Each structure stands twice: as structure tokens, then as C-alpha cells.
Amino acid sequence: MFGERRVHADLSTGQRDPDDWDIGRLRTVDYLVDTRVLTYEPVLSLLAAGTASGLIYVMGGPGVEYSVQTPEGSPVKILQLAASTEKLLSVDERDRLHIWDLKDLTKPPKSTRFDHAINAVMLSPSHTHVFLALQSGEIRTYDLLCLKKSPYVIPNLWDMFQTKIASSVIDPLHALPGCNIPVDVVVHPRDLNLMFIAFCGGTILYDLSSRNILRAYELVIPAGAPGGGGYHRSEVLTHRRPSVTSVAIHPAGHFFAVGYADGCVAFWAVEDEDQPLLVRTATDLDVNVINGEELEKFLQNPSGQEEGSSLPERQPMYRVAWCGFPNSSDPRGGATALVLLGGDRSGDPCRLTVHVMPPFDSPEPPATSGSKFELHPSVRKSMRLSVIPLETTYYPASGPVYDFILFPKSNPHFSGCWDSVALLFLTAASSGSRMVEARQFPPPKLMSPLPGTHARSSSKESHPRRILITCHRDFTVRFHDVSPQLLISSSTSPLQKNYPCPIHDLTIDLSCVLQLSSAPEVATVQVAPESLECVVLLKSGDLLVYRLNIVQANPPTETDGNKELELLGNVDLRPGTRYHPFVMLPRGNVSPTCCALSDIGFIGVGYIDGSVAVIDLRGPSLLRPQLQKRQSKLLVRHQDGDPVVSLTWTVSAVSIDSQLAVRLIAIYESGNTQVFKIIRDPKSSLYNFAQDVTKVEGLPNALQGGSFVIDSQKGTPWRADRSRFATSLQTRDSNPDHCFWVTASAKGARCMFDISGERIAKVEWNSKKNKVGHVQVIERNNSHVLKHLHTFSLAEVCENVVSVDETGDFIGTRFHESGVLEQIVFGTLFKTRRVYDHPIVDLTSFHCEIPPHPQPVSVGPPSLLGSWFRYGKPIMTGEQLDELLAGPDRPIPPPVIVQTSQNTTPGDGPGVMKTMENARGGVYNRLNDALAERGEMLGNIEQRIDSLQQGSKDMVAQAKRLATEQGARRWFGF
């Protein structure tokens, strides 16, 4: 009467013990969304980032990361790295100076407060002092070696300059409010004794040793000249003195650029404070010179002023930087690059501007009878020609740019702008967050090819390799190596790669294929494990297929009789791209809801109206079931269909069809499921849908990725891969192996025998408070279990799980309120014996040798004798400057032992022995010093005891003398 019921093996016996499950983090990667300031030091090879929450991140090579917190979490305003003393400097929003020792960042910082707000900080690798520009106009100095304030103080130089001018010229414009506030401090690139101090009113060239103002550069836009605003402002008929914002010195040191608040840049010769070489905006030259024709038009049509007032205002020139390169044998250097932040109209795109400047090639100035300090016209002409750009390059940004830094290759001088190889700029993101964008530098005209590196690594660890795929706002899909092997290190084998390690060659740029009228949003990305084919489904409905390293000499331009597919073989790609676009399925009348990629050349696509299509990459061709072909070109209303929510490829049999074949399982929103069979036409050798479709009653609202076909005896997954496909072509057995089909939804899971057979088991999730988000069949110790992850069970590990693999490792994310990714968590369900300790970080182990400070160069050709600077004093060294700033009472600082990086090989035997001998000698020396110090202390104690003994004897003698004198007075009757 009753049929025999099958008895199936329990595939999860080895994972029923709750103690086997130990959820924890393997590694956390934080992405800064509140970065406020960046700095880079080439000698230390360290990058530091300060945040609005007071956190300071210090980053170096692979695995070299450390973070410190400002006291009370005050936001970071200024950040610097001192190579000469190996210190980290920070100024917070409360205007406190904090100094950390890079050798031991676990120690609390040395904090110092000044009387006024700190506006700017200036460091040099040639000495051990820091200059701090205060809101009061004073320049204070701080000794980084002794960690104390130095007595050298520069008074408010602009006040002194105003006092001098006021005694000779009556000019109320000099008394504008705020003109005496310092905004920038820059050391002369070739003379430590000279310093440029930028105030809002102008720039001062100051001699440190003589404490004297050498030059004062004040830009005056005369009445009738356009200036930064142009001939559309009412102030065009008045004299204007725009406020200074930033200063940058040409590498030769003979002229410099100054940015102003009206959006213009003025170029000054060091020896000429009366007239600038050139004043320009982003679009016009000589804006400080009256243009008679334009001025006449303005005067004849006063109403044009109101019409022109609708023109967007020009942004201030927020910052300027002048970059030099080792591209010439001339000591004065070759072509340079001037980087500008700001100066564009408010409606212009967000960007950085780079002007490529010609080399400074001044002839030898002829002998004149005038003053020896006067700038010769021929020299002035050469300087002017060298500040007119050869070309202009723009670096577009995704949002408003707040700041930028340059990455010099090795030289820390020239304000960190010599031979730079990269450019980082800080841009605004949505809802107040910020992000960092990186670009290659310099522009192509000055660029020398960088050597490419292709590293391969192998590991004998049992954990499989893993790839993390991320989608970005710049229309790219990027790949990262997140294999656990990258976290293994030791004292003899440090980390060699970052974690995650980006694989730049695999980056997919969607903008190369799509005509981007708006930003494409990626719905899903899938990669086949064996064929490495990649599918990108966009939320717009377009589906793109990429193949790895496939370059055809004559790529096909038409598909096999199907006009719905578009071949992409002729798309231009950037050099070095390994993923090439192959075919595209544009969105039709019906939107796709999901897709599934197999390893045997089939891609399944499910639609919102319930239809299903398959892309056969062998043609390529588009396949549709027989019943849907008539409806494929018709417009179907969304509410009339049952959307497809999940697709699964497998090579298996079903209960009513014992033939091993390629099958596509389509689960609909209602729970109804159809199993499509893909067969091969023996006549044409083409694949198509079989006429018979197996229908199964499944779970409603199934989760995407919640469908699994596994072996009923071993529990291994039955995917549509090459081995299973080959087995299906060779096997004609009527009694094939059997399988389980496991489906899961937000409410529970169900297991069916041979997909369409009897129901083996059913489970309901006990999760009334929390919603099940992901399910995955996990294999461990030859046991398989369907693990559901509740949000409460992972609350201490991460907020949201986005991916779980078969070993139990998962990836979790945390997003900022603005929608920007803030943290990635690499976790596991089996943390036991999976602890990857953070590496021991030494931030100063690769300290390179600091090159000497650059020497002055002549304004003329190299054949000239002597320097063009004739201030009557030799060039000051860093040690001499430290003595000047610290004063005669400076304590003898301990010697700074700088350990430079050296390559040690097994053949360095004598060097190793010498190092051991030096270490042994150092121990003996320290012991001898300790003994000598102990003896000295004992000697001092003995001297103090003798002094006390002698003092007591003197007191007794004095007491006896006083007693005798008193007795004598009574005897004589006084």
C-alpha cells in the first residue's frame, strides 16, 4: 500500500556541536570618510591623514599602519611629519600643538598651547625647529629636539611694514582689517636664512640672522584694470589690494608665485618688489594692466555691469605649488609644473589645474652702472617668459577639492614638490563626508615611464584564494586579493602586499562601453571560477559580458541571426586592460531582475514579467523557451507577471528525467519554480531549450543566492562547471547519482530530492525580530550545513553581511550616513586557530638619508662665477640655524641616531659581524657609562655630606663666639 521511503545520510553530523562555531573578525579595513588634512614625508616614506574625529592614521608600506588620537578627540587642523627628528606634529581645532615620537606612538604626545590661534606651520628637513604663524601676526619657534619653545620670535612684520609706509605715504588701503594676519610660511628653497611670510596684505622676505625685512611684495590692481573679477564689477574703477592666500617658490629660487583671494596669481621676481612679472587668472594674462578697449566699452555701457553681474564669481586661489624635476643639466632646472587649486568660475567643473612652465633660461646680464641689486631688463624678460605656460592640464575631481599633496620620489626639499610621481587631492562627497582621489603626476609632457611590477606569490596554506569585487563611483569594477595568506608574516618574512591587495590589471571601466548620460549603477557582478568570464548587470537593465585576455584579430560584428545582442569587440580600451568587453544584452521592453553565470558558456537572465532567456557565448546567441518566443517582443505590464527572483545553473537529473543534463532552475516570487533543460541539436550542433519544462512548487520570496544543488551522499555542490558538463556528455547510465535541492527564503528552508522529487526536510527560521539576509551551504571537515546568519548574532562583528563563502568566511560592511563605504570586515564562523596577529610596526626602520640642502644657483648661465644673491653672508647650515633659534641656553640634546634602510643579503657576513661587534661594544659602553654615572653620583653625595659637616662646625663656632660676646657685654655693664 505504501511505497518504500528513502533513508538519506545526515550530511551535517560533524557540525552540530555549538562549540565548533566561533564567530569573529580576521581583519578590519577602515576607509576614512572624515579626512581633513593629508601630509607625506619621502625620507620616512610615510603618509599621514588627520580626521575630524581627531584620529590620525600613519601609513607606510604593506601592513605598516598605525593610528593615534588627539587629546579629547579634537579635530585635526594641521598635520606634518618631521624627518630630522622622526616626529609627528599635529595642530588641533583648539590650537594646541601635539608632538608624537614615531619610534613609539604608544606614548602620549607632548602638547603645547600658544597664546593665539595657529594659522600655519613650516618645517624643514635641514634643521630641528618648527615655525608657527600665529593669528596675532607673530612667528614663534619650537625646538623639536628638546621639545620646548625656543626664544626666537619674529614680530608682526606687516605691522612694521605698515608703520614704515605710513610715515612716508598716506594711504588708507594699507590699514584694511585683517591684512596683518599671516596665512603661509615658506622657506627659501636654496637659503635657510631667508623666509617668505605671507600675510593677507602681502608677502615679506625676511632675513633670520639679521632680523631684517629684505623685501615686501604687495599687489595693487590699479583703477581701470580688470583684476580677478574682470570688467563686470563696480570696484573696477578703484584701486584694489586682493588678500594673499598661498605662496610657492620656483625651484631656482629667483622668482615665486602668490595666489590671491580674487582668483588671480601674481609672479614676482625676488629682487623686484615694486612690479610683478605677470598677473593672470585662469583665462586671462596681465589682469593688472588697463585694457583701454574693454574699459571704454564698460564706461560707455554702464548697464552692462548689471548684465555681467550674473556671471559666476571667480573662486579664490586657495593654494599654489611649484614642482621641479631632474630633467635638465642646467643647475637652474628645466621645465616645471605649477599646480593651482581654485581660480575657476563657480560654475566650472571641479578640478585641479596644472600649468607646464618652460625652463628658466636667462642670459648673462650685461654690466650696468646702476645699483648692483637692480633687476636687469633682460633677466626680467626671461623670468616673464618662464611663467607663461606651454600648456595646461586639468585633473577632474568628483566633487569640490579641499586640498592636495604631492608625492616626491625621494627629495624632501623644495617644500615637498621636487620630482613628484603622484598627486592626491581631498574632495567632498555627499552629506559632509570626504574622500581622497589619486592621480599620476606629472602631466604626460613631463612624464617619464614608470617601471611596472608584476609580482606573483605562492602559498602552501590550505585556505583557498579569494577575490573581492567592488563597484565604484568612477564607473569602474575593481578586483582585490583578500586571500588569508596575505595576513601571514613573521620577523624574517614581513608582509609584502597590502590587504586587500588591488589587482589593477583586472579593472573594468564601464565608461568605455556605455554612452554615459548618467552614472550607471551596478546591480550585480559575477565571475565564473574556471572560465573567469565576468557578467555585469546594471540597474538600468543592460547586461555586459567580459572575457579575460581575449583579443581577436578580426572580431565578429554580427551575432548568429539574433539582433538583440550587441558585440563589443571593437571597443577602444586603455593599454594593459585584461578584461575585454565581449557582448552586451541591452535592456528591452521588460526589465531584468536577476542573472546567473555558469562555467560552460551559458548565462541565464530572469525578467520581471516571468520570462527567462539564456545567452550562449559560443555564438554568441540568445535562447528563449518555446512558449516565450511569441511574447518576447511584446510589452508586458509588470503587475501581470510573476517576477523571477533567483536563477541556478546545475548539471543533474530530476526525479522525472534521469538523464544528466544542463539545467536552469528559475524560482519565481510566488514560489513556483521551473526547471529548464538545455539540449544540443545533433544536426546543427547548437544548443537550445528542451520543450519539456519541469514545474516544482517551491518557497515564496526566495532569497537571491538561496538555491543550492548538492550531492545526496557527499554534500558537494553540483554546479554547471566543466567537469560536470563533461560527465553529462559521457554518461548514459539510467541510474545516475542523486542530489538534494535546497532552497531558502526569509522565513525558512526546504530540501527536495532530485529537485522535483519528494520533500526531505523543512525548517522555519525562529527570527521574529531579525530578518534573515543570507544563507550559504558551508563545508567543514567533510560536513555540510545550511547556516542562516541573524543580524543579532553578528552585531559585535559587523553591521551587514554582503557575502559568505563555502568555508564560513564572510565579508561585512559598514556605511557612513552619506552612503560612502566606511569599513570592511573580513570575518569567519570558525575563528578557532584562525587568528592573524597584526604585524609589529616600526615606522622609522626605513629612514632614508636626508640629502643636503640645495645650494643657490646663478640667475645666469652656469659659467657665471658666484651667486646672484648678494646679501653679504655665507649660506646658513641647519645646525647654525638651530643655534640661532634656540639661543645660547639650549640644553645639550641627545644625539639623534638615524637608522637608514640598507639591503642585507646572505653575503654580508663581515657587515653582520661588524654590526654584532658594534652592538657588543655598545653594551659595554653603556655599562661603563652607567658605572661612571654611579661613581659620579656617589662623589656628589660625599661632597654634600662634607659640606654639611663643615657647615655644622661653622655653626657651632659661631654660636660659641656669640656667647662669648654676650658675656663680655654683661661684664662691662653694657
Give residue 431's region: left, alpha or beta (phi > 0; psi -120 to 50).
Answer: left
Q: Provide the pLDDT for residue 860.
A: 81
Average per-residue pLDDT in the chain? 81
633 band by pLDDT with thresholds 50, 70 and 90: very low
CB-CB contact of 93 with 87 (8 Å): no
Q: Provide the pLDDT for residue 424.
A: 94
The dihedral of CA 110, 112, 117, 120: what is its sign? negative
- What average pLDDT does the segment 169-191 reach? 81
Q: Provide the pLDDT for residue 582.
A: 92
686 band by pLDDT with thresholds 50, 70 and 90: confident
Q: Provide the pLDDT for residue 371.
A: 53
- pLDDT > 70? residue 894: no
**CA angle (54 as vertex; 52, 58 as ends), nearest 5:** 105
Q: What is the pLDDT of residues 244-287, one digit of tens each?
A: 999 999 999 999 999 999 999 999 999 999 999 999 999 999 99
Q: Provide the pLDDT for residue 637.
A: 37
R_g of the chain computed on alpha carbons: 38
Which residue, chain included where needed, has cell 570575518? 827
The 10 Å Cβ neighbour count of residue 341 is: 23
Q: Provide the pLDDT for residue 229.
A: 86
**What is d(CA 269, CA 868) in angstroms, rounded to the nearest whole number?**
12
CB-CB contact of 678 with 687 (8 Å): yes
**What is d(CA 757, CA 751) in angstroms, rounded to the nearest whole number?**
10
Higher per-residue pLDDT: 850 or 165: 850
Which residue, chain included where needed, has cell 530530492? 753
Upstream peptide bond of 861 is cis (omega within 30 degrees of 0)? no
Q: Provide the pLDDT for residue 842.
A: 73
**What is d(CA 222, CA 210) in angstroms, rounded to the nearest whole number?**
34
Q: Provide the pLDDT for residue 957.
A: 67
H or E element, residue 382? helix 377-385
**What is d(CA 453, CA 468) in angstroms, rounded to the nearest whole number?**
21
* Residue 345 DSSP class: B
Higher per-residue pLDDT: 170 or 392: 392
Residues contacting 572, CB < 8 A, separation 6+ = 512
Q: What is the pLDDT of residues 644-663, one digit of tens each?
A: 999 999 999 998 888 899 99
- pLDDT > 50? residue 508: yes
- What average pLDDT does the segment 114-137 reach? 95
Alpha helix positions (H), 242-354: 292-300, 303-308
560 band by pLDDT with thresholds 50, 70 and 90: low
Q: What is the distance of C-alpha 635 from the center of its chain?
A: 47
Q: Provide the pLDDT for residue 695.
A: 92
Q: What is the pLDDT of residues 800-847, one digit of tens each?
A: 788 888 888 888 888 877 777 888 888 888 877 666 666 667 777 777
- pLDDT > 80? residue 98: yes
CB-CB contact of 33 with 818 (8 Å): yes
- pLDDT > 80? residue 859: yes
588 three-state secondary structure: coil
Report which listed range, 319-323, 507-511, 791-795, is most confident. Answer: 319-323
Report which listed range, 25-39, 419-433, 602-616, is most confident. Answer: 602-616
Q: Provide the pLDDT for residue 117.
A: 96
116 band by pLDDT with thresholds 50, 70 and 90: very high
Report which listed range, 219-228, 453-462, 951-960, is most confident. Answer: 219-228
Q: Provide the pLDDT for residue 944.
A: 64
Residues contacting 268, CB < 8 A, separation 6+ = 203, 217, 255, 256, 257, 258, 276, 277
- pLDDT > 90? residue 634: no
Total residue length of the chain: 974
Give the range among 36-45, 468-477, 634-643 with minimum mean pLDDT.
Answer: 634-643
- What average pLDDT does the segment 336-340 reach? 96
Residues contacting 245, CB < 8 A, separation 6+ = 183, 184, 198, 259, 260, 261, 316, 317, 318, 319, 342
- What average pLDDT does the segment 917-942 reach? 55
Q: Provide the pLDDT for residue 388.
A: 95
Q: For 25, how many CA atoms within 13 A lie in the half-sphere containing its CB?
A: 15
Q: What is the pLDDT of residues 153-164, one digit of tens each?
A: 999 999 999 888
455 band by pLDDT with thresholds 50, 70 and 90: very low
What cell was used for 182?
599671516
452 band by pLDDT with thresholds 50, 70 and 90: very low
**What is d(CA 789, CA 828) in angstroms, rounded to the nearest whole number?**
12
Higher per-residue pLDDT: 780 or 407: 407
Q: Provide the pLDDT for residue 802.
A: 81
Report which listed range, 198-207, 885-894, 913-922, is most confident. Answer: 198-207
Q: Provide the pLDDT for residue 905.
A: 37
- pLDDT > 80? residue 447: no
List, in sequence order, every beta strand (DSSP E) within 681-782: 687-689, 694-697, 702-711, 739-745, 748-753, 759-764, 775-780
- What average pLDDT does the segment 149-155 reach? 96
Q: Provide the pLDDT for residue 100.
A: 96
- pLDDT > 60? residue 580: yes
Q: Provide the pLDDT for residue 788.
A: 57
Q: Provide the pLDDT for residue 918.
A: 46
**What is d(CA 334, CA 360) in angstroms, rounded to the nearest whole number?**
7
Higher per-residue pLDDT: 495 or 869: 495
Q: Provide the pLDDT for residue 202.
A: 95
The 10 Å Cβ neighbour count of residue 612 is: 21
Q: Provide the pLDDT for residue 864.
A: 44
**What is d(CA 877, CA 899) in angstroms, rounded to the nearest whole number?**
22
CB-CB contact of 625 with 693 (8 Å): yes
Q: Provide the pLDDT for residue 974.
A: 35
Which residue, chain included where needed, has cell 647650515? 877
Separation in Å, CA 477 to CA 510, 539, 693: 8, 14, 36
- Phi, then psi, of 900 in degrees rounded to 5: -85, 155
**What is d(CA 297, CA 304) in angstroms, rounded to the nearest whole number?**
9
Q: Provide the pLDDT for residue 110.
A: 95
Q: What is the pLDDT of residues 712-739, one digit of tens each?
A: 888 889 999 998 898 888 866 666 788 9
**For the chain, what percent of residues have pLDDT higher than 70?**
76
Higher per-residue pLDDT: 328 or 866: 328
Q: Provide the pLDDT for residue 339.
A: 97
Q: Provide the pLDDT for residue 13.
A: 63
- pLDDT > 80? residue 561: no
Higher per-residue pLDDT: 635 or 161: 161
- pLDDT > 90? residue 322: yes
Q: For 327, how many CA atoms within 13 A lie in the half-sphere containing its CB?
A: 20
**What is d(CA 847, CA 491) in angstroms, rounded to the nearest whole number?**
19
- What average pLDDT does the segment 150-174 reach? 80
118 band by pLDDT with thresholds 50, 70 and 90: very high
CB-CB contact of 204 with 159 (8 Å): no
